[in-house]
């Protein structure tokens, strides 16, 4: 199954406007949606945030980071770990279904895991 096929299941969720597979350095592997440059800007900003959260999580001995949800006024950003090096970012509008998108992102990350180890 290709990356695009796995991400298609996530994109079917109501309100999903962006899906991106990226590494922790902010280099996208596969992306879909968003305005020109939007996914690259999101990845650049959130990859730094993700590194900091991962470090804090490790220092506090909370276990392996699985998913982060950032709920803002207009959109919700879901960051789901695929491996220690790669993650899936999904952006959902407030009028969408973030719960279903969150579940679909976790399923997609599980399916993609073998491709990145």
pLDDT value of residue 36: 67
pTM: 0.92
pLDDT value of residue 2: 86
Q: For the chain, what is the radius of gyration of the CA atoms?
A: 13
Count of structural domains within the chain: 1
pLDDT value of residue 89: 96
Secondary structure of the chain: what % helix, strand, coil (to 5)? Answer: 45, 30, 30
What 3-state DSSP class applies to 74? coil
Distance CA 22, CA 5 (A): 16
Q: What is the mean pLDDT of each run of 10 residues along the chain (117 residues)?
A: 89 95 91 81 89 91 93 96 94 96 97 92
Other residues' Cβ atoms within 10 Å of the Cβ of residue 53: 14
Domain containing 82 equals 3-116
pLDDT value of residue 37: 75
**Which CATH number belongs to the domain containing residue 69 in this structure?**
3.30.450.30
Which residue is listed with tokens 């506090």?
60
């Amino acid at each position: 199954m290709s990356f695009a096929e796995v991400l298609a299941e996530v994109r079917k969720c109501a309100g999903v406007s962006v899906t991106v597979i990226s590494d922790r350095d902010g280099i996208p592997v596969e992306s879909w949606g968003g305005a020109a440059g939007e996914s690259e800007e999101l990845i650049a900003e959130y990859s730094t945030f993700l590194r900091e959260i991962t470090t804090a999580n490790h220092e506090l001995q909370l276990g392996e980071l699985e998913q982060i949800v950032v709920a803002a006024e207009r959109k919700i950003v879901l960051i789901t770990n695929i491996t220690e090096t790669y993650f899936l970012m999904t952006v959902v509008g407030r009028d969408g279904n973030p719960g279903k998108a969150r579940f679909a992102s976790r399923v997609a990350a599980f399916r993609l895991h073998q491709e990145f180890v």
